[in-house]
């Protein structure tokens, strides 16, 4: 998300640090090493928190600060712009730019995860070993980022039949499908989750899954070397691409009935489609964020928090943390209780209760203490005791979860519908028109960009008369705006190609625009205006200038594709023969 906001920002300019990519790497890695050395100091500040294993996935202060360092260097140093300029990368290569920055963050996070505990070569070797093991936690993110970047590169580099129906929507949908298929095996293999060998326990697990009418691609041992927790879980949403992972310690410490109860618990998650609703909830958060951003943009179009991407990102991250804490936490607690009920119905109270207490003992978890996504072990067992005494409570909780899931679907659907409406041209035209007409007596330079935007929307909606009117109003406020001059010239040449006076005005407008800005898209408009007016030689010269500039431009906001300008040049070349 951070890289999407920064690197793909069309208005992104050179940062005040102006770092080359090698300089960026040096500052980032040295800073991360120093932050890693501060881990013991941070641990002493956190009273009651003991030192954890080097392979712990906990989010330490050093790792958080390493992220802020990486983000600040990317924003202020703009190493992506250095790469773009030095390597002459255009828009199709931005996915590789993102991948390089993601790799840098992955390494920096590993360097900041631990400290050098002793002097000499031995200490450095231990540091390298610890960093390597920690890097495996984040490795799936890197690999998935690589996969998605490569996929987006292919979509943008090669023509596909879906682009005309909505590039962004197709990219997002296809990327999600790709990740649902690729993410589970990438997680499993990156973390080194080895298959459970054939044994009596494996037969028992497979039988329990079959009796619960759920299936998994394979059963894997939980990678305790990377993630030191003894637990069980399901990775993956689609039946052919999901895995059951279980800790070797659980298999050793649980008896057969307790192991069956743990598997019944995980099967309960699959039966009730809990993972799918977690995905819906995340989609709902994304849609809510988009809705808030759209609303703020409409109400405060000149607000610096909206205009400056880097100021908006912290608010998005804070929103994500709050959503995970309260939204995901709420769903998780209710889903866990429903899965517990399935284990109770399958094998009775004693096996699941004993299994829960053993899990808390193995992982040194206080059974009386709840966390943000689970009720405490004692509370979960007490609820199961109530269900055993009053079986209708199980039905009541199933009804409660169904209502929560229905509410989740309704909210997500409402958010999707709201965003689709707010993103429609019809709404944008209505909104901008009403806002501008409401402030008609106080029009100033501040309102001019909105006039231009409204005129653009009207043009693409084929409301040419209204579009021309708003372009002319925008020019009355700022007669030197090259974009308005260009767009009005284009409209006149395309819509009024048989009106000689308007074609002459089109030429005057575009020649004035060229005095303000020397850009490929403006020369292209000039070529069209000259061609429609019968000035074929001038049209060919303008098309040639447009093509030459397009071949030089690497800016995302002006890179319309060399192929288009080449086609225009060939069209005008044929007309002059």
Report pLDDT digits (tens) over 183-216. 899 989 888 899 999 999 999 999 999 999 999 9
For residue range 456-508, list pLDDT tens digits in order.
999 999 999 999 999 999 999 999 999 999 999 999 999 988 888 999 999 99
- Decide if 375 is inside a domain: yes
Same domain for 31 and 91, yes or no, is yes
Q: Is 330 exposed, middle or buried (0-12, 13-18, 19+ CB in 10 A)?
A: middle
Ordered mean pLDDT values, 10 residues apiece, the chain (577 residues): 50 74 94 92 65 53 90 86 73 69 89 86 86 81 74 62 50 69 89 91 95 94 80 89 93 95 96 92 83 75 51 65 84 96 95 95 91 91 96 95 95 91 89 88 87 92 94 93 94 90 93 92 93 89 89 52 82 72
The two three-digit tokens of residue 290, written as one number: 């988009």
DSSP-assigned beta bridge partners for residue 347: none
Answer whether residue 358 is part of any domain: yes
| Separation CA 357–CA 497 (nearest Å) | 81
Same domain, 416 and 457: no
Position 166 scores a pLDDT of 47
pTM: 0.75
- The answer to whether residues 97 and 84 touch, using CB atoms and an 8 Å cutoff, is yes
Q: Which of 91, 125, 158 is the last residue of a domain?
A: 158
Assess whether 410 and 486 both reside in one domain: no
Regarding whether 449 and 387 lie in a shared domain, the answer is: no
Query: Which two structure tokens, joined as six digits, stand for 280?
Result: 């819906």
Alpha-carbon span 153 to 100, nearest angstrom: 14
Residue 154 CA: distances (Å) to CA of 39, 98, 145, 178, 292: 41, 15, 14, 13, 31
Tokens 């618990």 found at: 265
User: 490-503 burial, b if ≥16 CB within 10 A, otherwise e?
Assistant: bbbbebbbeeeeeb
The answer to whether the beta carbons of residues 411 and 284 sit under 8 Å apart is yes
- Residue 155: phi and psi, rounded to 5, are -65, -40
Residue 261 lies in a domain: no
What number of other Cβ atoms are within 10 A of residue 164's Cβ?
9
Q: Residue 119 domain-assigned?
A: yes
Are 371 and 312 contained in the same domain?
yes
| Cα separation, 349 vs 504, whole angstroms | 87
| DSSP category for residue 412 | H
| Residue 8: count of CB within 10 angstroms of its CB | 17
Beta carbons of 177 and 162 less than 8 angstroms apart: no
Question: Strand, coil or helix: what is 219?
Answer: strand
Specify whether 371 is located in the same domain as 505.
no
Q: Is residue 72 in a domain?
A: yes
Q: Which of 319, 236, 222 is nearest to 274 (CA)?
A: 236
| Helix, strand counts (H, E) of the chain | 26, 3
Cβ count within 10 A of residue 510: 28
Q: Which residues does 524 contact at the CB level (< 8 Å), separation at least 6? A: 542, 543, 546, 565, 568
Which of 369, 398, 422 is a domain's end point?
Answer: 422
User: What Å distances lie between residue 575 and 74, 79, 500, 510, 537, CA to CA?
Assistant: 48, 45, 20, 21, 9
Q: Cβ(395)–Cβ(389) under 8 Å? A: no
Q: Which residue range(s) make up the domain with 537?
A: 426-576
Cα angle: 23, vertex 27, 32; to 5 degrees: 145
Orientation of helix 464-477 relative to helix 448-460, angle to 10°: 160
Phi and psi of 509, rounded to 5°? -65, -45
Contact, 37 vs 116, CB < 8 A? yes
Could you tell me if 450 and 553 lie in one domain?
yes
Q: Which residue has the tokens 């490569």?
A: 150
The CB density around residue 213, as the number of other CB atoms within 10 Å, is 9
Q: What are phi and psi of 103, to 5 degrees?
A: -60, -40
The predicted pLDDT at position 259 comes to 96
Q: Is there a domain that residue 92 lies in?
A: yes
Three-state DSSP class for residue 155: helix
The two three-digit tokens of residue 251, written as one number: 């298999």
- Strands 218-221 and 232-235 come out as unpaired
Contacts of 418 (CB under 8 A, 6+ apart): 287, 291
Residue 366 resides in a domain: yes
Q: Pairing state of beta strands 243-246 and 218-221?
A: parallel
Of 126, 143, 158, the residue at which a domain comes to its end is: 158
| C-beta separation of 279 from 220 below 8 A | no
d(CA 165, CA 159): 13
Check whether residue 510 and residue 385 sit in a common domain.
Answer: no
- Phi, psi for residue 522 in degrees, rounded to 5: -75, -40
With b for 16 or more beta-carbon neighbours within 10 A and e for fewer, the 40-51 pattern comes to eebbeeeeeeee
CATH code (residue 513): 1.25.40.10
The two tokens of residue 339 are: 């899965």
Within this chain, do residues 382 and 325 fall inside the same structural domain, yes or no? yes
- Count of domains for the chain: 3
H or E segment to which residue 244 belongs: strand 243-246
Shared-domain flag, residues 380 and 494? no
What residues contact residue 117 under an 8 Å CB cut-off, 6+ apart?
123, 126, 127
- Residue 88's pLDDT is 66
Judgement on whether residues 501 and 456 belong to the same structural domain of the protein: yes
79-101 per-position pLDDT tens digit: 888 887 777 655 556 667 777 88
Output the pLDDT for position 50: 45
In which order are the strands placed within the sheet that holds 218-221?
218-221, 243-246, 232-235
Q: Within a domain: residue 152? A: yes
Same domain, 408 and 433: no
């Amino acid at each position: 998300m951070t890289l999407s906001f920064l690197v793909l920002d069309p208005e992104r300019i050179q940062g005040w640090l102006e770092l080359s990519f090698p300089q960026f790497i040096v500052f980032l890695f040295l800073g991360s090493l120093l932050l890693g050395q501060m881990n013991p100091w941070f641990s002493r500040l956190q009273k009651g928190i003991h030192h954890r294993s080097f392979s712990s996935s906990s989010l330490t202060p050093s790792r958080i600060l390493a992220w802020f360092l990486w983000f600040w260097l990317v924003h202020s140093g703009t190493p992506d712009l250095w790469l773009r300029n030095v390597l002459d990368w255009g828009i199709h290569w931005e996915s590789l730019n993102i991948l390089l920055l993601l790799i840098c963050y992955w390494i920096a996070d590993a360097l900041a995860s631990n400290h050098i505990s002793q002097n000499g070569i031995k200490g450095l070797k231990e540091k390298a070993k610890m960093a390597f093991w920690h890097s495996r936690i984040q490795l799936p993110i890197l690999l998935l980022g690589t996969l998605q970047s490569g996929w987006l590169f292919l979509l943008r580099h090669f023509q596909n039949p879906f682009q005309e129906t909505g590039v962004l929507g197709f990219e997002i949908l296809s990327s999600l499908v790709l990740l649902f298929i690729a993410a589970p095996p990438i997680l499993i293999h990156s973390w080194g989750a080895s298959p459970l060998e054939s044994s009596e326990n494996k037969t028992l697990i497979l039988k329990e899954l079959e009796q619960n009418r759920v299936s998994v691609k394979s059963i894997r041992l939980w990678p305790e070397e990377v993630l030191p927790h003894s637990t069980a879980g399901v990775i993956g949403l689609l039946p052919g691409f999901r895995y059951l992972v279980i800790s070797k310690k659980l298999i050793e410490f649980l008896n057969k009935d307790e192991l069956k109860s743990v598997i019944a618990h995980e099967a309960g998650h699959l039966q009730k489609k809990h993972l799918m609703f977690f995905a819906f909830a995340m989609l709902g958060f994304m849609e809510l964020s988009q809705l808030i951003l759209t609303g703020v943009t409409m109400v405060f179009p000149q607000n610096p928090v909206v205009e400056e991407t880097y100021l908006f990102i912290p608010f998005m991250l804070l929103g994500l943390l709050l959503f995970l804490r309260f939204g995901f936490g709420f769903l998780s607690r209710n889903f866990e209780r429903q899965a517990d009920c399935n284990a109770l119905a399958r094998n009775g109270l004693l096996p699941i209760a004993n299994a829960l207490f053993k899990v808390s003992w193995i992982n040194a978890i206080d059974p009386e203490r709840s966390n943000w996504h689970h009720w405490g072990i004692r509370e979960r067992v007490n609820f199961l005791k109530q269900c055993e005494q009053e079986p209708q409570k199980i039905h009541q909780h199933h009804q409660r979860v169904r209502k929560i899931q229905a509410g989740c679907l309704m909210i997500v659907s409402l958010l999707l519908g709201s965003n689709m409406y707010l993103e429609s041209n019809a709404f944008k035209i209505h909104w901008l028109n009403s806002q501008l007409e409401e402030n008609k007596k106080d029009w100033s330079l501040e309102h001019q960009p909105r006039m231009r935007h409204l005129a653009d929307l009207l043009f693409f909606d084929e409301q040419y008369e209204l579009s021309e009117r708003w372009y002319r109003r925008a020019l009355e406020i700022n007669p030197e705006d090259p974009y308005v001059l260009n767009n009005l010239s284009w409209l006149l040449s395309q819509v009024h190609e048989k009106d000689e006076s308007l074609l002459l005005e089109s030429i005057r407008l575009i020649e004035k625009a060229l005095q303000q800005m020397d850009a490929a898209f403006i020369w292209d408009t000039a070529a069209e205006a000259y061609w429609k007016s019968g000035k074929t030689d001038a049209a060919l010269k303008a098309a040639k200038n447009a093509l030459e500039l397009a071949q030089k431009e690497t800016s995302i906001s002006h890179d319309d594709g060399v192929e288009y300008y080449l086609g225009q040049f060939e069209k005008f070349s044929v007309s002059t023969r």
